[in-house]
Structures are given as C-alpha cells and as structure tokens.
C-alpha cells in the first residue's frame, strides 16, 4: 500500500463522499497508532466531516474498516464498509458472544503484513451514531471481525501484537498463538 504526502483524494467525490479531502493514512511505527483513544464528547458537524473524510480514506485504500487513530485522530470512533453497507460507531464498547475462529487479517496501517488471527464470530457493539443516539449492533462473521480489529486500534493494539515479535517482521503470514496480544498496550 502506498502513502502520499498529500491529503487530497481526487476520486472521493466520485465515490459518494461529500468532501474530497481524505486524511493521510498513518503507517506503523507512527506513535499515534499506539495511543489509547479518548471518548468523543461533541457530536457536531466537525465529527460528521471527519467521518466523511475517513470514508474517503477507507475507499482510497480499499479497506474494510478504519479507526480514527489510523488517520491521526485519538478519538474512540471507527467506520466500516462491506459490500456497499457502511457503519460508523462512536465510543464503542464490545461484548463477545460466541465461539472463536481463525481468519487471515491485514491492516491498512501495516501494509503487506498478514496474521491468521482468532476472533469471536459474533459480538455486540454498543455505541453512538453521528447524532449522538445510542445504538446496539449484533454483528457476525466479517462484520464482527472488522469491529474487533478496529476497536483494538482504539486501544493502541495492532495485529502484530498477537504474534511473537521476533517473527512478525519476517516475510509471510503468521498464525496467532493467543487470543490476547503478547504485549498489552496501556
């Protein structure tokens, strides 16, 4: 995946975004990716504009999900878009609901890296929409996986944290041997 010095995405308006300015994607080892995010306190036009710009970035990089720290914002917010359905959750909390299953994951902030990671197949995510109304989402399969991945970002956790650090930088895909990160970031 490539990054550029410009924050403009000339294709954003063509893809249904209200604003053409897509924030620059942060790539590991950028320190913002390791910060624990603070709750969003104001639900206003600035938040809506940020979400529009995040969707532009997500589409530009062909991702499924994007958390605010991946664009340099340390707030508890993530977006997802799968098969033309989109979701935005502000100040999410997560409850695991079912069995675990392995699936290979990548990350826009760790280009070229893949981890065969065990995640819960079904979750309940509680949070707020852009208007500040509380919402409960029952998510399964890929939606549940993306939500767990993005909420990890909000806590400063990356997919690399589920793999032995001595092997992560080697080429290839690695299977996680744990349900929890090797090193918990606080």
Residue among 5, 39, 40, 8 nearest 22 (CA): 8
The answer to whether 112 and 140 are in contact (CB under 8 A) is: no
How far apart are the C-alpha atoms of 173 and 142, rounded to whole Å?
A: 19
Upstream peptide bond of 29 is cis (omega within 30 degrees of 0): yes
* pLDDT on residue 164: 83
* pLDDT on residue 9: 31
The answer to whether 74 and 61 are in contact (CB under 8 A) is: no
Active-site option among 46, 101, 150, 166: 150
* pLDDT on residue 30: 98
* pLDDT on residue 3: 25
Kindly report the three-state secondary structure assignment for every residue of the chain: CCCCCCCECCCCHHHCCCCCECCCCCCCCCHHHHCCCECCCCCCHHHHHHHHHHHHHHHHCCCCEEEHHHHCCCECEEEEEECCEEEEEEEEEEEECCCEEEEEECCCCCCCCEEEEEEECEEEEEEECCCCCEEEEEEEHHHHHHHHHHHHHHCCCCHHHHCCHHHHCCCCEEECCCCCCCCCCC
pTM to 2 decimal places: 0.85
Whether 150 is catalytic:
yes
Tokens representing residue 148 in the block: 């767990």
Q: Residue ranges of the domains in the chain?
A: 13-175
**10 Å Cβ neighbour count for 123?**
21
User: Measured at the alpha carbon of residue 23, what is the angle toward residues 139 and 7, in degrees to the nearest 5?
Assistant: 150
CATH of 13-175, one of 3.90.45.10, 2.30.40.10, 3.40.720.10, 3.40.1000.10: 3.90.45.10
* pLDDT on residue 1: 24
The answer to whether 33 and 153 are in contact (CB under 8 A) is: yes
Mean pLDDT by 10 residues, the chain (186 residues): 27 38 93 98 98 98 98 98 97 96 96 94 98 98 98 97 84 73 52
């Amino acid at each position: 995946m490539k990054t550029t010095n410009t924050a403009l995405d000339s294709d954003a308006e063509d893809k249904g975004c209200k604003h053409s300015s897509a924030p620059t994607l942060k790539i590991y080892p950028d320190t913002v990716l390791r910060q624990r995010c603070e709750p969003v306190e104001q639900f206003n036009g600035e938040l809506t504009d940020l979400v529009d710009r995040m969707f532009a970035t997500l589409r530009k990089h062909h991702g499924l999900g994007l958390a605010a720290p991946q664009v340099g914002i340390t707030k508890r917010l993530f977006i997802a878009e799968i098969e033309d359905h989109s979701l935005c959750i502000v100040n999410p909390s997560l409850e695991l609901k079912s069995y675990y299953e392995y699936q290979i994951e990548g990350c826009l902030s760790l280009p070229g890296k893949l981890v065969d990671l065990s995640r819960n197949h079904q979750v309940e995510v509680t949070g707020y929409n852009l208007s500040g109304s509380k919402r409960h989402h029952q998510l399964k399969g890929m939606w549940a996986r993306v939500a767990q991945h993005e909420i990890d970002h909000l806590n400063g956790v990356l997919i690399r944290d589920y793999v032995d650090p001595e092997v992560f930088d080697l080429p290839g895909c690695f299977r996680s041997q744990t349900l929890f990160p090797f090193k918990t970031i606080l």
